[in-house]
Structure 1
Amino acid sequence: MAGELLEEGDRAFAGEKARQRDVEELAHRLAVLGSDPPGMLKGLRLFLEGVPDRSWASGRAAYADSPVAWCFGGHGGQWAGMGSDLVDSIPAGAETLARIDSLFRAESGFGLVQMLREARERPVDDLAVVQPLIFAVQVAIARTLLTHGLRPDLVVGYSMGEIAAAHVAGALTLSDAVRVMYHRSRLLAATPAGGRMLVARGDTATTERACAESAGAVSIAALSSPGESVLTGDADALRRLVERWEPEGLRCRWVRIDAASHSPAVEGVLDELRGCLRDVRPRAPRLRWVSTVDPDPAVAPWADPCYWARNLREPVRFAPVVAALLDEGVRMFVEIGPHPVLRVPLQGNIRAAGTDHAKVVVTGRRGMGERSALLRAVAELYCHGVTGADRRVLLDLRAGPGAT
């Protein structure tokens, strides 16, 4: 009798292991992207050969219970041709851009959609234009995802990216968000010449010491991750730091901006910014919005009438925000924008936290149309089991007007 029970137990155990194995296999997903059968076969072949490629995505569907954070980056992701698919062939994106265009034209006298079309042939360098263009693309991408049923649990913005984040969260109407974006970028462009910004990757203590020794010429603009800071200030002073640091192994990269945002250089425009935004009426957000100006969860950034002046002047505290979110259990970060500017800082924060299974998915890539980039992003989210990212969304995005 005992032997029969043991045998039955062994069979039950083996059956359960087999069932678990079947479930485990179903939990592993593959998405192959292509415009025709040969293209899809090529993607499948690359997957089987283990060759990384944008034509396929795979993963384990283990993130259904993880909160999803949408992250909106700052300056630097712009490229010639960004937004073309959103304007021409993605209905939700085109509708959103048309609304932004009308609102921006009422504020500034010129439209953004025409600027996006002109920027297909050459990059736009005018700070007062390029930042609103980035904002418009961010909001259009977010609206496209929301229209197809994807939804974040919380939003985070980095510098100017906080404006799009606040709008998506519901703290700013689209009209107010456009007003904030227009006046913030216009006044930043009017700050004194000679300012630059610099990404420094290395020992944070070294960069902080250099700022303290600079007599105010250089300051911290952003704490991006434990190993990456953004410095802001006088261009010549920053250039001397690069000449000193690079032989020592501290890597530096110039930000594509001719202004010293988040520095004393912007203080001369803050009163005007506050005045221009006096009629902006922030609201309690529908989604959680985590501020990178004041990460204290007890503080309601939407209730501060001077918040957007602080957003321009104070440092971006991105690293402590991401660290806190990882502590909360957030494991899925989706960067909303034309090209990744937060992926490296996010990955740096994930490594510093010792969390090896958090994921970063990007929704835009330089030189890649938004339809293809969004298909790739949704494919990754589907493979990771994120709620709302399913085959229906992939088919809807694939079948839109102008798809090939």
Structure 2
Amino acid sequence: MTEPLVFMYSGQGSQYFHMTRELYERNPRYRLWMEHCDEIASPIIGKSLLDTIFDPRRDRSDPFDSLPDSSAALVCVEYSLTRVVQELGYQPDFLLGYSLGEISAAVVAEALPLEDGVCFAVEFGRLLEQRTPRCGMLAIVGSADLLRTHAPLFTDCWVTARNFDGNFVVSGRSADVDELERALDAEQILSQRLPVDYGVHTALIDPVEEQARRLMDVLSFAPPQIPIISSATADRVDALSVDGVWAAVRQPVQFSRAVEKMTAAGGATFADLGPSATLATFVKYITARGDGSSQVSTVNRFGNDVKSMTDFRAFMTAL
């Protein structure tokens, strides 16, 4: 393989109950890493993380919308998937985080201890739940030109992510997003509600910036051992900082721009280490111009985790 290998980490909206359950049950190494994470995360969230993810009372389709619990779950799942893939012999040249996924990337890069990453994800989630208004997040299937041609519909919402040409995300207070969703439906514009109930990447979290920065002040930053690319800036992160972490959760996600910059000089292989294969799908549309890039996922929402991991190994072997 000559192209650089990029590990990608998704954020809020990609989580779901029972994610990676089959892999946990059938892959001893993944189970070992998840149990390691459970020992760290459970005292922080006040209950078993594994019991929370694999709660038998919950269906896969139920919204996993407790921000502290789902944030801890995402960091731990993405970390454990990475450890399994690294043990298979695949080492990334770059890490690309999307929103909360930037915390996962920092942990994998050893720029942030796992304990710190989980603790910050949980405490920041609690802060948003306790001190910021309930919001909604809507993924829109359509050109960003809609923001100009249908500007009045978006008056009380913020663009929080640009995923690829034909897919962007907006957020706002719950009532405003409800109204936008109805208006888009009336215009026959496709959209999907995401399980994110707080206003990350909007001005609605600005009132808790000071408290959030205090949470970040106690984090133990170290130089990244693997280069990190931020989706907030589309630039390389040479050193973690409080300003950089705040930007990751406050600024809009510029995922398409980040991928375009990474592939401007040639192709890359993008491996999705998130639970939903969301980012691999985004990359497919961004790099469709034929620059030699490729994308692959490790698991997805459909639950065939062992087959997905086998397919991942076959894909990587064929490169």
Unpaired stretches in structure 2, ≥5 consecutive residues? none
2:30 alignment counterpart: 93
Are residue 377 (structure 1) and residue 312 (structure 2) matched?
yes
Q: Deviations over 1:217-250 (max 9, x none)?
A: 2111111112221101123323333333345453
SS at match of 1:328: coil
Bigger shift: 180-189 or 166-175?
180-189
Secondary structure at the residue paired with 1:118? Answer: coil
Q: Which residue of 2 aligns with 1:286?
A: 225
Q: Does 1:134 align with 2:74?
A: yes
Query: Quick check: 1:348 aligned with 2:288?
Result: no
- RMSD (Å) for aligned C-alpha atoms: 2.4
Partner of 1:330: 267
Do the aligned residues in 2 keep the contact of 1:88 with 1:94 (CA within 8 Å)?
Answer: yes
TM-score, structure 1 as length reference: 0.72
Identity across the alignment (%): 22
C-alpha spacing 1:191/1:374, structure 2 compared with 1 (3 Å): farther
Task: State whether residues 231 and 258 of structure 2, in contact with CA within 8 Å, keep that contact through their aligned partners in structure 1.
Answer: yes
Which residues of 2 match residues 347-366 of structure 1 at below 5 A? Answer: 347-351=284-288, 354-355=289-290, 357-366=292-301
Paired residues of 2:10 and 2:101 also in contact (CA < 8 A): yes
Corresponding residue for residue 218 of structure 1: 157
Q: Which position in structure 2 is the counterpart of 1:29?
A: none
Give the aligned residue type for 1:263: T
| Number of residue pairs the alignment of both structures matches | 316
Q: CA deviation at 1:277?
A: 2.6
Counting only pairs closer than 5 Å after superposition, residues 55-204 of structure 1 correspond to structure 2 as 64-118=1-55, 121-122=58-59, 123=62, 124-204=64-144
Contact 1:76 1:341 in 2 (8 A): no
CA distance in 2, matches of 1:329, 1:343: 18
Sort the Cα spacing of 1:369 and 1:132 in 2 relative to 1 into closer, same or farther, 3 A: farther
Check the 8 A contact 1:80/1:119 in 2, yes or no. Answer: no
The corresponding residue for 1:35 is none
CA displacement, residues 346-402 of structure 1 (integer Å, 9 cap, x when unaligned): 122113xx226422211112232432221121112222x2xxxxxxxxxxxxxxxxx
Q: Secondary structure at the match of 1:197?
A: strand
SS at match of 2:263: helix
Cα shift readout 1:13-69 (whole Å, capped 9, x = no counterpart):
xxxxxxxxxxxxxxxxxxxxxxxxxxxxxxxxxxxxxxxxxxxxxxxxxxx111111
Asked if the contact 2:276/2:299 (under 8 Å) is kept, the reply is yes
Q: Deviations over 1:69-106 (max 9, x none)?
A: 11111222333322324433323322222222222233
Q: Is the 8 A contact 1:211 1:219 kept in 2?
A: no
Aligned partner of residue 54 in structure 2, secondary structure = helix
The residue identity in structure 2 corresponding to 1:197 is M
Q: Secondary structure at the match of 1:152?
A: coil
Task: Name the aligned partner's letter for residue 138 of structure 1.
Answer: E
In the other structure, the counterpart of 1:395 is: none
Structure 1 pair 189–330 and aligned structure 2 pair: CA distance change class (3 A)? farther
CA contact (8 A) 1:220 1:230 kept: yes
